[in-house]
Structure 1
C-alpha cells in the first residue's frame, strides 16, 4: 500500500524548500493541504521522493508553486506532464463568449452557406454518377431490375398525387384568369386572357407547380424513408447480403419520378386550362367552344414540347435530391427531419434554376 503523503521544510543553500514524500493522491493526502495553509513561502518544491501523484496532488503542487513563485524540482516525465496539464486548466472560464462583430458574423455565415452549397452540389453530381453506374448494371443484367418496386413508386408518386396536383392546378388556372382579366380590362383586351391562360399553363406553370408539389410530397418522402432505413442499419444490411442500395432503393424511385413527371405536368396544364376556361365562361362570358378554339390558335406545339422536355429532368432532380439527402442521414432521428427539409429546399431550388436555364435555352432555339 502506498505511504501517506507528508512534507518537511529543508534548507538548500540560502533558500528554503518544501520536501514532499509518499503518495500525493486523493486517498493519501490526509491533512497535508490544511497544514500547508500555515506554512511560510519556500523557494523550491521538491517532489523527488514522491512515488505516486494524481490530479489532486498535481493541483496542490502547482498551486503552491504559483502562490509561492517557487520552482518545482525532482519531477519525472509523467509528473511533469501532469503538472503541465493542470497549469493549462488554470485559466478563467468565460461564461459568455466574446461578441463577434456583426459584419464578421454575417460574412462567416455566408461563407459557411456557400461552402455547404458547393459541397452539396458536388455530392449530388457524384450521386448522379453512382446512379448512372447502377442504371448501366441493371441494363447489362436485366434480371436485377425490380419491376414491383418501380410499379409501387408509380402508384405512390403518380396515382396518389393526382388529386392534390389536379386541385392545385385547377385553382391556379382560376387565379391566373382572374388576375389577368382584371389587368387586361384596363386596356379593353379581356379576350387575351385566353392567351395568358393557355401559354402560361402549358409552357411554365403546369410543369413548374407540379415539380414543386412533387418535391414537397414525394422528394421529402424519399429522404425520410431512406433516412430511416439508414438509421436502422437496413442499408448496411443490404450491402452485407450483396444487394446494391442504388439499384434496390434509388433507381426505382428515380425512374418512376422521371417517367411520371411529363404525365403529371401535362395533366396539371390541362386542369389549369379547364379552371381558367370555367372562369372565362362565367365571368367574361366566353363560351367553352370559343375558349378551346382560341387555345388551339394561341398555344404553339413548341410549348408542349418544352413541357415534355423539362418535366423528366425536373423529376430526375427531385428524386436524386431526396434519395441523396436520405443517404446522408446519420446519428439520430433529428437528422431525418433536417435532411428531409434539405431535400425539399434543394430540389425546389434546382428546379427553379433549371427552369430559368431552359427558358433562355428555348428562346435561343426560337421557341418563345
Structure 2
C-alpha cells in the first residue's frame, strides 16, 4: 500500500477515522481530500498507520485545527513525537498586545521625541561646525577650495530660482496692495497702503517667503543629490580615495546659498514693491511717481537692512539641514524619500522660527 486510506468506522458511541498505510508527502493530495470530508466529533485512529513524515503530520494537525479539536488514538511514541515536533514548528498568529496608553506611556513618547530632536539639533550644530572649519581651512589653503562646484551651485540655487521668487513676490505685493486698499479705504487712509507694502515686503515677507521657497526647492535638491550618492556608496568611495566629503559636497552647496540668498531677497523685495505699485495704481489711482516719492520719504532704509540681514542665517539653516538629511540616507529609496520630505519640513520650520526670533530681537533693540 503506497497511499493512505481513510476509513470511517462507526460504533454505538462514536465514530472513528482509521488511517491506514503510509502518511507521507507522496500521498498528501489524496489524504487532504479524504480529511476534508471528515465529520466533527470523530476520533482519529493511528494504530494502523505506517510511515509518517512531516507533511502527513501537518495534514493531521491541520484537520485538528479545522475541527476545533481532535482526539488522536492508537499513535505510537514515534508518531506522537513527530506530531509534537511539527506542532511546535508551526507559525503562531501574532497576539494582540495592544493596551490602553497611560500617562506614563505618553510621557515616555514625549521624552523620546524631545531626545530625538535634541540629537538632531546637536548633529546640525556639528555640521555647522564642520562647514565653518572647512571654510577656515580653505582660507589657509585656497587650492583645496572647489571654485567650479561653487559656481555651479550658485547657478542652480540662485539664477534658476529667480523666476519663481520674482513671480511669488510680485503676487504677494499685489495681494498686499489690494487688501490694504480695501481695509484703509474705510478710514480714508489709502495713501498709507504704500507704507504697509514697504514695511511688510522689505522687513518680513520678502526674505521670509524667498527663504521658504528656497527651502522647498533647494533643501530637497541637496538631500536628494547627496542621498543618491550615499545609496550608491559614492561617499564611501570618496573617503577611500582621500577626498573629504564635507569639502566636496557640503561646503560648495552651503556657501552658494549664503552668497545667493541675499541677492534673491533683494530681487524679491523689488518684485514685491513692483506688484504693490501696480495694484495701487489700478485700485487707488496712485501713480508710480507718487508711489516712489512716498516710498522714499516714508520708509526707513533700516527695513531693508533688517530684512537682508536675515538672509545669511536662513541660508545656513537651509543648507545645513539639507546636507545633513542627505548624509543620513540609508541604502534604499524609502529612506531617500523620507529624508527628503523631512529636510523640507525641518528647513521651513527652522526658517520661520528663526524669523520669529529675529523679529523679537529687532523689536527689543528698537530697530
Identify the TM-score tier after normalising by the shorter chain. 0.7 to 0.9
Q: Is the 8 A contact 2:153 2:256 kept in 1?
A: yes
Q: Is the 8 A contact 2:181 2:283 kept in 1?
A: no
Aligned to 2:341: 341
Counterparts of 1:233-244 in structure 2, within 5 Å, are 233-244=233-244
Aligned to 1:11: none
- Structure 1: how far apart are the matches of 2:85 and 2:223? 57
Q: Is the 8 A contact 1:224 1:340 kept in 2?
A: yes
Counterparts of 1:208-287 in structure 2, within 5 Å, are 208-287=208-287
- Structure 2: how far apart are the matches of 1:26 and 1:141? 75
Q: For 1:213-268, what per-residue CA distance to the aligned partner results, in whole angstroms no more than 9, with x for missing partners? A: 00011111000000000000011100000001100010000000011111110110
The CA deviation at 1:100 is 3.4
**Cα gap change, 1:244 to 1:186, in 2 (>3 Å):** same
Aligned to 1:199: 199
Which ranges of structure 1 fall in alignment gaps of 5 or more residues? 1-24, 42-55, 64-85
**Displaced runs of 4+ in structure 1, greater than 4 A?**
56-59, 89-93, 102-112
- Structure 2: how far apart are the matches of 1:256 and 1:57? 72
Kindly indicate whether residue 77 of structure 2 is the aligned counterpart of residue 38 of structure 1.
no
Q: Is the 8 A contact 1:199 1:298 kept in 2?
A: no
- Structure 2: how far apart are the matches of 1:257 and 1:98? 48
- Structure 2: how far apart are the matches of 1:279 and 1:150? 39
- Structure 2: how far apart are the matches of 1:161 and 1:280? 27
Q: For 1:107-134, what per-residue CA distance to the aligned partner results, in whole angstroms no more than 9, with x for missing partners? A: 5654444333222112111111222222
Aligned to 1:354: 354
Which ranges of structure 2 fall in alignment gaps of 5 or more residues? 1-51, 62-71
The CA deviation at 1:196 is 0.4
- Structure 2: how far apart are the matches of 1:62 and 1:237? 49
**Cα gap change, 1:188 to 1:104, in 2 (>3 Å):** farther
Q: Is the 8 A contact 2:321 2:343 kept in 1?
A: yes
Shifted more, 221-230 versus 130-139: the winner is 130-139
- Structure 1: how far apart are the matches of 2:81 and 2:136? 67
Q: Is the 8 A contact 2:230 2:331 kept in 1?
A: no
Kindly indicate whether residue 315 of structure 2 is the aligned counterpart of residue 315 of structure 1.
yes
Q: Is the 8 A contact 1:157 1:256 kept in 2?
A: yes
Q: Is the 8 A contact 1:26 1:57 kept in 2?
A: no
Secondary structure at the counterpart of residue 186 of structure 1: helix
Secondary structure at the counterpart of residue 243 of structure 1: coil
User: TM-score, length-normalised on structure 2?
Assistant: 0.75
Counterparts of 1:102-181 in structure 2, within 5 Å, are 110-181=110-181
Q: Aligned Cα RMSD in Å?
A: 3.0
Aligned to 2:299: 299
Q: Is the 8 A contact 1:258 1:311 kept in 2?
A: yes
Q: Is the 8 A contact 1:225 1:326 kept in 2?
A: yes
Aligned to 2:366: 366
The CA deviation at 1:104 is 7.0
- Structure 2: how far apart are the matches of 1:219 and 1:61? 56
Q: Is the 8 A contact 2:219 2:321 kept in 1?
A: yes
Kindly indicate whether residue 84 of structure 2 is the aligned counterpart of residue 60 of structure 1.
yes
The CA deviation at 1:168 is 0.3
The CA deviation at 1:96 is 3.7
Aligned to 1:72: none
Secondary structure at the counterpart of residue 181 of structure 2: helix
Count residues with an aligned counterpart: 302
The CA deviation at 1:154 is 0.8
Q: For 1:301-357, what per-residue CA distance to the aligned partner results, in whole angstroms no more than 9, with x for missing partners? A: 111111221001101110110000000000301111111111111111111111111
Q: For 1:131-151, what per-residue CA distance to the aligned partner results, in whole angstroms no more than 9, with x for missing partners? A: 222222222211010010000
